[in-house]
Chains A and B, each alone.
Chain A
Amino acid sequence: MFVQTLLTGLAIGGIYALMAVGYSLVFSILNFSNFAYGSIIMLGAYISYFSMVKLGLPIGVALALSILGAALLCYLNERLAYAPLRKRRASSLFFMISAMGTAIFLENLVYAIVGAHFYAFPEVFTKRNITFHGVSIGVLDVFAIAFSFAAIYALHYFLQKSRTGIAIRAASYDIQVCSLNGVNDKHLIGLVFCLAGGLAGISGTFLGMKYIVYPTMGWITNKAYIAAVIGGLGSLPGAVVGGILLGVTETFVSAYVSSVVRDVFSFSLLVLLLMVMPTGLFGRFLEEKV
């Protein structure tokens, strides 16, 4: 029972981690909460659903399409909603409102156009289970764990080893000094949004397969924000740890206490943690600039 719960928790925690990383990546560069990220994840899920069901594409192609589509959407989001503010050097409050506006816009546009229908993914892996020493785990969960961690590792490798990755890390410390040193900050920010969008495509596809596809995707995408805050906004290792921690504790609470109190629990965890550590587990001490 214990190992079983742990594995289920890891599977959902991996997806949370993936979402939290994408969200935290944008935060680390631009220092604002990109609340539109949840709706990009939701659109990623729709893209892969429709390409699998309506176009009859195999899962691999659907996933690739979803990554590309979500990356494009995230990029457009930046160009249309944030770039004008960046030119004006607006405060992060305005970015946050603009992001909220984008989230509301996208979510309800899907409601209005596609409708509030619930779409279930065709069963690619869901039916089968691997049983090992009395512990059974769905093939989808194995795949989700493996793929999330592979994606996070690939991102980590990219940020650590490539020239562009170094530029991104430099920009997360100080974007002005970084552009003084010859980095094209406009391209860099565009690339960061594309990367975040790609992660949104992956996590959206897995979320859609694990649960169901619908406009708000429930409370699930908000978990990405909570996970990122637990880990400390702007810190990528923090986002991974926060995501896994949230996924595992939630699964334990729903297994041993009750699934009803799960969301109340994750909220209390967030508030308690913020009281003790106001910048999250791994957060850099980010004073708000005035």
Chain B
Amino acid sequence: MWSYISGVISLGLIYVIATVGLAVFTGFTGLFSLGHAAFFAIGAYTAAILTYFYGFNFYVALAMGGAAGGLVGFLIGYPTLKAKLRTDYFAIATLGFGEAIRVLLENLPITQGARGLPGIRNETSLPVLMVVAFIVIWFAWNLIHSRHGRACIAIREDFVAAEMMGVNIFIGRLRSLVFSAFCAGLAGGLFAHYFCFIQPSMFTSYMSTQMTAAVVAGGMGSISGPVIATLIFIGIPEALRVANIWRLVAYGLLLVLIMIFRPQGLMGYRELSLDLVKGWYRRVWKGGRA
């Protein structure tokens, strides 16, 4: 029983790491990435190839996986963000990017194509995941409360005004994208060494969808919201043993319903804090205004 619970928590934490990155990017710059699974895949393959074929130390490989994700994020972000694409154009460019990476993974010799890489060392344990997740969340928290984070919020709210005030839109967006690609790569490396097997078909739009859904449902512009949403998204279907496919149907419906009824999401530009919990407590138990 414990191994089952720890399995669910581990999977949840892997997704939390990736989603926090996406929350920093999408929630704080307002740009959508529809190909985030590609960064995840790049991290997973880089880390797995390093430990599998070259016998690298797990932690070194993990860092290299994250770095590879970040580097690719930089390579894709530099031209597209430099061109100041509209949100829609950027989203479609990342969509194409995600597909292109998957095709490459299926055809490169080192990734062994669609067969995938079986028998990767099992290195990811729950403590490792907890430490990495803690560091990533702590870092993301500091990032968005820094000068950079405030600049990003300004860009999201009104990028013309932000530019007028001397905020460099390009640098702000690119830094967020690289950070989020790094997180996705890190999560990918952990994923590969948790399941001990990866193949290109694991990193489809399903994964990107789940991350985007968690960020939107958790509330854009929040870190704790998406973290809670991810844990709910992983935990509840696992507990109820819902078939994968109905899960996705529900995600789709949820996105539409959230947009209609509660566009700010679960937390909506706020963070989980003691004051917030106290406010809820008062509202529920005392019936008065918080």
**Shortest beta-carbon distance from A78 to chain B in Å:** 12
Asked whether, in the complex, the Cβ of A97 is within 8 Å of the Cβ of B96, the reply is no
Residues of chain B with a CB closer than 8 A to A226's CB: 92, 96
Asked whether, in the complex, the Cβ of A96 is within 8 Å of the Cβ of B248, the reply is no
Asked whether, in the complex, the Cβ of A267 is within 8 Å of the Cβ of B89, the reply is no
A102 at interface, CB cutoff 8 A:
yes
Asked whether, in the complex, the Cβ of A105 is within 8 Å of the Cβ of B99, the reply is no
Q: A84-B260, A85-B260 are in contact. Are A101 and B252 (CB under 8 A)?
A: yes
Cα(A280)–Cα(B96), bound, Å: 15
Cα(A227)–Cα(B79), bound, Å: 19
Asked whether, in the complex, the Cβ of B91 is within 8 Å of the Cβ of A96, the reply is yes
30 contacts between A and B (CB under 8 A): A81-B260, A85-B260, A90-B263, A93-B87, A94-B263, A95-B259, A96-B87, A96-B88, A97-B258, A97-B259, A98-B256, A100-B212, A101-B258, A104-B251, A104-B252, A105-B255, A105-B256, A107-B248, A108-B246, A222-B99, A266-B96, A267-B100, A270-B92, A270-B93, A271-B97, A274-B89, A275-B80, A278-B84, A278-B85, A286-B86
**Shortest beta-carbon distance from A246 to chain B in Å:** 11
B197 at interface, CB cutoff 8 A:
no
Asked whether, in the complex, the Cβ of A260 is within 8 Å of the Cβ of B260, the reply is no
Question: Which of A231-282 touch B at CB < 8 Å?
Answer: 233, 260-261, 263-264, 266-268, 270-271, 274-275, 278-280
Which residue in A92, A98, A264 is a CB contact (below 8 Å) of B103? A264
Interface SS majority for chain B: helix
Cα(A261)–Cα(B159), bound, Å: 37
Interface string of B97-112 (1 = CB under 8 A from A): 1011001100100000
B95 at interface, CB cutoff 8 A:
yes
Asked whether, in the complex, the Cβ of A260 is within 8 Å of the Cβ of B256, the reply is no
**Shortest beta-carbon distance from A75 to chain B in Å:** 16
Residues of chain A with a CB closer than 8 A to B254's CB: 101
Complex: chain A residue closest to B263, CB-CB: A94
Q: A274-B89, A275-B83, A288-B86 are in contact. Are A93 and B255 (CB under 8 A)?
A: no
Which residue in A105, A219, A229 is a CB contact (below 8 Å) of B92? A229
Residues of chain B with a CB closer than 8 A to A219's CB: 99
**Shortest beta-carbon distance from A273 to chain B in Å:** 10
Which residue in A27, A95, A271 is a CB contact (below 8 Å) of B93? A271
Asked whether, in the complex, the Cβ of A229 is within 8 Å of the Cβ of B89, the reply is yes
A32 at interface, CB cutoff 8 A:
yes
Complex: chain B residue closest to A262, CB-CB: B103
Asked whether, in the complex, the Cβ of B248 is within 8 Å of the Cβ of A32, the reply is no
Complex: chain B residue closest to A228, CB-CB: B92
Asked whether, in the complex, the Cβ of B212 is within 8 Å of the Cβ of A288, the reply is no
**Shortest beta-carbon distance from B236 to chain A in Å:** 17
Residues of chain B with a CB closer than 8 A to A102's CB: 252, 256
Which residue in B82, B216, B252 is a CB contact (below 8 Å) of A275? B82
Asked whether, in the complex, the Cβ of A264 is within 8 Å of the Cβ of B249, the reply is no
B245 at interface, CB cutoff 8 A:
yes
Asked whether, in the complex, the Cβ of B96 is within 8 Å of the Cβ of A222, the reply is yes
Which residue in A81, A107, A264, A275 is a CB contact (below 8 Å) of B256? A81
**Shortest beta-carbon distance from B237 to chain A in Å:** 13
Interface string of B207-218 (1 = CB under 8 A from A): 001001100100
Complex: chain B residue closest to A104, CB-CB: B252
**Shortest beta-carbon distance from B204 to chain A in Å:** 9
Residues of chain B with a CB closer than 8 A to A261's CB: 103
Q: A32-B88, A101-B253, A263-B100 are in contact. Are A290 and B160 (CB under 8 A)?
A: yes
Cα(A92)–Cα(B243), bound, Å: 33
**Shortest beta-carbon distance from A111 to chain B in Å:** 5
Question: Which of B1-57 touch A at CB < 8 Å?
Answer: 30, 32, 34
A225 at interface, CB cutoff 8 A:
yes
Cα(A162)–Cα(B97), bound, Å: 40
